[in-house]
Structure 1
Amino acid sequence: MSPQSSHGGYEGYQASRPSFYIGQHDSCRTDGLNDDQYNRVLDFGFSFATAPITTKHFHDRVVALQKSYLADTAARDLTSDERANPSLPGPTIPTLTDEDTTLFPGPNITTVVAYCSPWLDLYSADPLVANLSRQALNLEVSYASFCGVRSIVIPGPRADVDPKRVAEYGRAIKEALRQAAQIGVVVHLPMYREPGLEETGDTLSGPDAYPSTSASGSEEIDIYSSWDTWHTIRTMCDYDPRLFVAVRVPKRLPEMQLQTRWFAEPMHFLTFSAPIFQQNRAGFPSLSRNHQALVNMYMRLKNAPWILLADVGPSGDELASVSDLSSPSSPSTGGDAFPSLAEAHSGAAIYQSDKKRKPTHNAHLSYIKHLEREQEPYSVTETSTLANFQDWLQSPLQPLADNLESATYEVFEGDPVKYDQYEKAIAAAIADWKRLNRPSSAIPRPGAAAVPAGSPTIPELVVAVAGAGRGPLVTRVIRASKATGVPIQLWALEKNQNAYVYLLRMNKQVWGNKVHLIKTDMREWAGPVAEGHEATNTLTKVDILVTELLGSFGDNELSPECLDGIQKHIARPHGISIPLSYTAHLSPISYPKVYAELSGRAPSNENAFETPYVVHLYAIDLVSQKVPGHPRFQQAWEFVHPVRLPFVEDWTAKHGLKKVQTGGGGAMNLATGLNEHNVRHCHLTFVCRPRGVMHGLAGYFESVLYQPAANKDGSVPEPIEISTRPDQIDRKSKDMISWFPIFFPLKKPLYLPQDSEIEVSMWRQTDDTRVWYEWLVEVFVWAGPNSRVKVAASELHSSFKVACLM
């Protein structure tokens, strides 16, 4: 059922596309809002507002303390050595008083966003200023937390040039997180230091501490310095899940690489100030197309950032007038919050209420709401169900070791694209078999007349679906048979006894009992018994074998091992395996949100960073760039089917179909080595131009389901494929949702200097009883034309303890 039909009206309209949560921030506001003023802001159409935690009184008190301390130190006529004595006591800010704040617990407190004083300077080079700022910050954060606010915004450093001072700021934020033990802490930073849009308010360091960068017009701007500052802060805070960032959107947007870098961060607010807007033809504020695209991109996140409009809401004078009208001495209400009966009857009270509460039009807010209405509806791949899976970690399935639930099968079957591609591949294979007059493995029934050569009668084709689940591929095989006019004998194999019951029901009610159902592990199947030869148990071969054993990395659910056990039944040389081949692909990514989650799991789960996770990758940043010889997505390895395994077949002929015994049989992981042909290794090189951070590897796969035979004119048709690679999925299997990518995490993030090279080594390992992965990442920079220096490296990760069981 669609969201429109389930909710109806405007609610259904909103549910079908992203919704905006818009707040108002006044950088000049020095006092909090009383209930009437706050309601006035909401009347304008805002969803929330920021409020300063302390007043000008507190600021003046801190400044007076600073000045008195400096004056006292000067009056003591201390020598330079005495002033430098680390044991010299500094000033201590006394606790807050009721004159220092207008923020109090109340009915609106949970919707108020507390904003710390912008005059604090935790980044200051002056130890006295930095110390006083840290004390004031702790007082403000602790008090706001007491009042019951849910989040606190702390202005970020005014510059990024001094790593020592950034570290001092980061340490203060970590201390603030301890003070606010239950609420979110948001650091407010620019997307980059854009000249002309610097913060202008004075700090404790004085008006000349941070000169405008726009004054030096020839100076080159480092657009990644602000992100570097954020990375230092959140690293010092150990990726605390309560730490967020608010980004001030610049007037001129930077390169897409930086936009996606911030997209991957835990962003709470996107801040738009008045200078960002431009006038449209009608004279109203609007955003450029690039800014609109940025908003559209960020609002597709499951936890989309809130929009904060800075200095474009109701002015201080407007809010002050509300305070005057609501005061007890105001003649408009006679000191009574409710009108008298006479006033109500005459309508005078309504007039006064309208005069007090009716908001004026806010053009900036109206435009943002217009953008909300213009959002594209959610696509097929953005349904509410799929949105809930964004960046949600799941352990990979173990279909060989576990029996899946019906609901899991149902999720798989909800993707028509995959099954459409499979049906297309099956139909093409059957059509080629018919056109090229390939032999059939079907054995004539006893007493049946032989089919004369050149007869128009088409012999039956033997088809098997291995791992049938609840039967979606069986249905597609039957449809392909009817579409091509080729009769088939169809076998369906399933080891899950519960799914087998469902298949029996499907055979009776849907397939007309035309499917031979076998409850067995495909690796232990003796092969199809020829129709009409059941009495003699005569076995035959399979012309087309259809499977859907692929995992998020292609081979991670042991498709190679499963097909090894059944491909001996494929007829030679004309037998077909669908899929024909599959390849695994890797790309290094920045994934701070998920890394923070794994860091929280690690203390109670020793394998948290050794597990490859199936995850709907969304809030990620692809840290490498496409350069000649080094694409952004690179192939790790490939598997092709069918492949002859003479030594396995010889072993089976000698020992029968019983399972292979392992352990101590050889040098390869102390196993017999029968699965050693499925071991793989890759070494890949990626190039990272801007500096960044890497949290792991994203894994994808591509599969050729079937390669149609050449046409009569010699031309070769396009292969029928499926792909999860972001740069190929729209071309090969658009809107396919059956597989989420896989994520191989790193225990420690790797910082990537500018123009670095990322070397990825990965192994697919086996000991004949299980399969696991091992991965290692190294970072190099060029120190000369022929010399590279390793600047970072991960440890060797291994999923051995959570291996996929054979």
Structure 2
Amino acid sequence: MDSPTSMGEPMPIFYVGQHETQRALPVSDGLVRHAQDCGYDMLTTPITTPHFHASVLSLLTSYHQAISETSPYPSPQPLPLIPALKPVDAPLTPGDTISQLLAFTSPWIDLASPDPLIAHLSRQVFNLEIAYAAFCGVVTIVVRGPRLAYGTNGLSQYARALKEALQVGAYIQLHILMPMAGGTDADNDEDMGDLVRFARPEFVEGQNEQSTDPFSAWDAWNTIRSICRYNARLSVALDLPRRLPSMSLQSRWYSEPLRLIYLPASSFLVNARGSHVLSKPHQLFIYRCMRLKSAPWLLLADIGPIPGVNDPSLILSYSTGHLSPATAADAPSPGSSLSSTPTPAEAAQISKSSNRKSRNDPTPHLSYLRYLQRNQPPKSTIERFGGGFQDYLQSPLQPLADNLESITYEVFEKDPIKYEWYERAIAAALQDWQSHGKSVSSTTGAVVVAVAGSGRGPLVTRAIRASEKSGVPVQVYAIEKNPNAYVLLQRHNEEEWNGQVTVVKTDMRAWKGPTLPDGSFGKVDILVSELLGSFADNELSPECLDGVQHVLNPDHGISIPTSYTAHLTPISTPRLYADLMARSTTADPNAFDIPWVVMLQQMNYLSTQDSPQHAQPSNGAKSNQQKLEQAPVPNVQTAWEFRHPLPPTTLAQSSLRRGGSAVGGGGGFTGGDGANEHNARFSKTKFQINEQGVCHGIAGYFETVLYSGAAGTVELSTNPVTMDEKSKDMISWFPIFFPIKVPIQVTRESELEISMWRQTDDRKVWYEWLVESFITVGGKRVRLALSDLHSSKGSGCLM
């Protein structure tokens, strides 16, 4: 694979650290510099020493002995208190390299223990370590996640301890080390000094709720971060197993605040040459995560000590990742029978290859990650265009109420697809016009084309090109209300369009049509506009085109676009929800009542079609592993549709209502006279939920038919299901996001129901939305949750 950097395309940088569960040496400044010479970006360090661990166990033993001595009538004993740390208890000191260290809290504590004694001691150890690490200047602390063997028991205790720790260290970042797939706990339980082994039987019996549900680890994390109210300083350190779980679970973790990917030695396979490599699914997951706006760090765990620490004469070279194709070749794809640990044969092979390769490459695992860094897949068009905009909330444009800046137009004009497709649509319409022998509205025999809302003129240029390619003469009008863009349009007409365009400064709804030689106003044959927003109609395209339709040829006038549909689907997006929570408590109390335009990246679809759990291949030959690696297809449903031009009777009725006449009716349901009531919409859509999750809001998209006729059909789409088919690499529109104030927990095999309204009072247009969760029990549909009725009326689009 050629390196994309050779083509001048910047790629994400991998920041790689080294971790030893039992680090033999204290992390000194010299060790940090030595690790950097080897190519590592960071090291990990424990916060306390084995001496401190021993003193805590001694305290626990003394407490048990004190209780036993009071038998047979034990009196209540105060729980033991751990004394302050001594220099021998903690290896850390403030220094210049402290910011390059990741601190690990003691893995032998049990914050979620059902035994109040063990939980009490664990919280004390935890608080002492957090406070001291924060004092020393440590920024990032990794905390072992709760033991899944307890099920949901103890999660509230664990979460409360984290919430308290976030208050103790005002600037620390807590990374919670969680297994990617649930059902298994870390191997730390084998430590004879682990406090979990000292829990009293009367508290532990009946607490073991070990689950085989792969989502149990994610569910535990979701409970913890919900109790901590989506704190921005609380994130996930994800432990990658030897075999990755289903794509649906991978996508769920991908949507979380992922700050660290933990790669133990058991995650690596050995290829035919004895090199340590990752499977293709591991590579793809890492590549995907490294494209995030805040890419996670990579932490190599227990792959062996840092080479050369005990041999200063050993000359080390920086790991560049310049590996031969054979060295970096993938190992055989893991089969369904692959265990989470190497087989005896694999272990022997690893041992032999490690000895052999250590002479050639002292850091083979690091070199392989650098190889992956240098050979990432090239970025897509949307990724290149949207750099920096991922998951960035933007208020929708109001082109009717505001005059857009030139830079805003310029961003739209960089789209490589949109205007090319518009040109095809106009050319197809002109060809059909000519082939059908339709009469024209001009006196010169040319087809009259009006671009309503011309902006800086890209569609005008495309209309002229379409005329040249089709051989059909046109008479072009450019209609624009923005006085600043009007100046540029006139300059373009002089310098680029050779004066063949008539530029008109007016609101399109006030334009009376082309002026004829006798002073009357003519009609337009083809009306072209680019008024669509992220949800199709959210920038008032229906209202604008209704207002200008009076200039369109009533017999066979063509509107481009001719129709458009709004689409939606429920999503989980913790990152956006945390952002909106912060906004709602500070700058914008109405943040959850605004539909936001956002380049969705770190999110997860809650409802999918043909997901790995339910997909049935047509030939029946798809393996279990292939099913697990199959990307789920989002279930995106249609909310409503608009078509242009409208029937003349609809516009006539709207005109009657506008005056509040008796014939018109006297008023709409939401205020005004009801003149725009025909553009109100309502939809109720249902979505099957395949796996448990949490709904943070609704993602909105659109599809549009620019033109459909004998010469062809031209469509645009931002719908993730149809975008690649209809308009791949189009970048003009980001999706729209309708948030909900309180996240809704959804269960497996439940159903989400979304009610969406497009409301109007003749002065502005706004949206209202509501989400409900249902489950069917014994044939009866039971409501599980109900969101608030959200309304964007306060920030509606002015007409």
Normalised TM-score (structure 2): 0.86
Which residues in structure 2 correspond to 1:254-653 (within 5 Å)? Answer: 254-314=245-305, 319=309, 361-383=362-384, 386-443=386-443, 459-530=445-516, 533=517, 536-604=518-586, 605-626=588-609, 632-646=635-649, 648-649=651-652
Are 1:142 and 2:142 matched, yes or no?
Answer: no
Residue number in structure 2 paired with 1:51: 45
Shift of 1:619: 0.4
Code of the aligned partner of 1:584:
A
Structure 1 SS opposite 2:441: coil
Distance 1:161 1:51 in 2: 28
Contact 1:274–1:312 (Cα < 8 Å) also in 2: yes
How far, CA to CA, are the matches of 2:451 and 2:240 in structure 1? Answer: 54
Per-residue deviation, residues 10-38 of structure 1 (Å, max 9, x unmatched): 98778522221111111112663111112
* Conserved? CA contact 2:18–2:43, under 8 Å: yes
Question: How far apart are the structure 2 equivalents of 1:42 and 1:474?
Answer: 57
Alignment correspondent of 2:158: 169
Q: Work out the CA distance in 1 between the residues paired with 2:602 and 2:634.
A: 21
Maintained 8 Å contact 2:118/2:199: no
Change (3 A) 1:647 1:391: closer
* Bigger Cα displacement from structure 2, 501-510 vs 15-24: 15-24
Q: 1:224 pairs with 215, 222, 236, which one?
A: 215
Deviation at 1:466, TM superposition (A): 0.3
Residue aligned with 2:148, SS: coil
Indicate the RMSD between aligned Cα atoms, in angstroms: 2.8
Alignment check: 8 A CA contact 1:31 1:102 kept = no
CA deviation after TM superposition for structure 1 residue 108, in Å: 0.9
Paired letter, 1:562: C
Structure 2 residue aligned with 1:791, among 784, 789, 794?
Answer: 784
Q: Which runs of 5+ in 2 are unaligned?
A: 202-209, 316-358, 615-632
Letter in 2 for 1:189: M
Which residue does 2:674 correspond to in 1? 673
- Specify whether residues 102 and 762 from structure 1 end up closer, same or farther in structure 2 by C-alpha distance, changes over 3 A only: same
Shift of 1:646: 3.2
Q: Counterpart of 1:185 in structure 2: which amino acid? A: L
- How much has 1:682 moved relative to structure 2? 0.4
Bigger Rg over Cα: 1
Q: Distance in 1 between matches of 2:410 and 2:443?
A: 36
Go from structure 1 to structure 2 and tell me whether the alpha carbon gap of 1:650 and 1:686 turns closer, same or farther (over 3 Å shift).
closer
The corresponding residue for 2:624 is: none
Displacement of 1:360 = 6.1
SS at match of 1:99: helix
CA–CA distance in 2 between the matches of 1:304 and 1:144?
24
2:769 is the alignment partner of 1:775: yes
1:44–1:359: 8 Å Cα contact kept in structure 2?
Answer: no
CA distance in 2: counterparts of 1:763 and 1:647, whole angstroms: 20
Paired letter, 2:715: E
**Residue 586 of structure 1 contacts residue 700 of structure 1 at CA under 8 Å; is this kept in 2?**
yes
Deviation at 1:40, TM superposition (A): 1.8
- Select 1:734's aligned residue among 721, 728, 731: 728
Q: How far apart are 1:76 and its partner, in Å?
A: 3.0
Change (3 A) 1:197 1:23: same
CA distance in 2, matches of 1:25, 1:371: 20
Q: Is the 1:443–1:540 contact (alpha carbons within 8 Å) kept by the matching residues of 2?
A: no
Aligned to 2:115: 126
Distance 1:266 1:573 in 2: 57
Please, which of 737, 752, 758 is the counterpart of residue 752 of structure 2?
A: 758
Q: Cα distance 1:643–1:11, how it changes in 2: closer, same or farther (>3 A)?
A: closer
Q: Provide the rounded CA distance (Å) in 2 between the counterparts of 1:65 and 1:115.
A: 22
Q: 1:801 to 1:561 in 2, by over 3 A?
A: same
What is the rounded CA distance, in whole Å, between the counterparts of 1:562 and 1:724 in structure 2?
Answer: 22
**Which one-letter code corresponds to 1:750 in the other structure?**
I
CA distance in 1, matches of 2:653, 2:766: 27
Name the CA distance, whole Å, in 2 between partners of 1:520 and 1:198.
Answer: 72
Superimposed CA distance per residue, residues 745-768 of structure 1 (whole angstroms, 9 cap, x where no aligned partner): 010110001111001100000000
Encode CA deviations 1:754-800: one digit per residue, 9 max, x unaligned.
1110011000000000000000111011102x311111110111111
Deviation readout 1:337-357 (Å, 9 max, x if unpaired):
xxxxxxxxxxxxxxxxxxxxx
Task: Check 1:284–1:14 CA distance in 2 against 1; reply closer, same or farther (3 A cut).
Answer: farther
The structural deviation recorded for 1:150 is: 1.6
1:37–1:322: 8 Å Cα contact kept in structure 2? Answer: no
Distance across 2 between alignment mates of 1:664 and 1:429: 38
Equivalent residue for 1:37, pick from 26, 31, 37: 31
Deviation readout 1:596-644 (Å, 9 max, x if unpaired): 011111113221100000000000000112269x970000000000012
Give how far 1:362 is off.
1.2
- The 1:695/1:128 distance shift into structure 2, 3 A limit, reads same
Q: 1:311 is aligned with what amino acid?
A: D
Structure 2 residue matching 1:367: 3-state secondary structure: helix
- 2:233 equivalent to 1:242: yes
1:664–1:671 CA contact under 8 A, matched in 2:
no
Alpha-carbon shift at residue 201 of structure 1 (Å) = 3.3
Deviations 1:553-599 (Å, cap 9, x if unpaired)?
A: 00000000000000121112211000010000001000001100111
SS of alignment partner, residue 11 of structure 2: coil
After the TM superposition, which of the residue ranges 721-730 and 641-650 deviates more from structure 2? 641-650
Distance in structure 2 (CA, Å) of the matches to 1:14 and 1:136: 50
Query: What fraction of aligned residue pairs are identical, expressed as a percent?
Result: 48
| C-alpha deviation, 1:424, in angstroms | 0.4
* Offset, 1:56: 0.9
Query: In the alignment, is the contact (CA less than 8 A) between 2:426 and 2:466 conserved in 1?
Result: yes
What's the offset of the Cα at 1:77? Answer: 3.3
Pick closer, same or farther for the CA change 1:426–1:620 going to 2, 3 Å. Answer: same
3-state DSSP class of the match of 2:583? helix
Bigger drift between 255-264 and 505-514 goes to 505-514
Q: Which AA in structure 2 matches 1:464?
A: A
Once the two structures are TM-superposed, the CA of residue 164 in structure 1 deviates from its matched residue by 3.0
1:80-229 map, 5 Å: 82-83=75-76, 89-193=78-182, 198-199=187-188, 200-202=190-192, 204-207=194-197, 221-229=212-220
User: What is the rounded CA distance, in whole Å, between the counterparts of 1:507 and 1:622 in structure 2?
Assistant: 47
**Distance in 1 between the 2:514 and 2:527 partners?**
12
3-state secondary structure, aligned to 1:707: strand
| Matched residue SS, 1:229 | helix
**1:721: Cα distance to partner?**
0.3
Say whether the 8 Å CA contact 1:417–1:735 is kept in structure 2: yes
Structure 1 unmatched runs, 5+: 212-218, 326-357, 445-458, 711-716
Is contact 1:265-1:593 (8 Å) kept? yes
CA contact (8 A) 2:4 2:376 kept: no
User: How many residues were matched structurally?
Assistant: 723
CA distance in 2, matches of 1:637, 1:723: 15
SS in 2 for 1:739: coil
Task: Name the structure 2 match of 1:707.
Answer: 708
1:675 and 1:768 in contact (8 A); partners too: yes
Amino acid at match of 2:582: G
8 Å CA contact 1:41, 1:314 repeated in 2: no
Alpha carbons 1:390, 1:617 under 8 Å: kept = yes
**Do the aligned residues in 2 keep the contact of 1:44 with 1:362 (CA within 8 Å)?**
yes
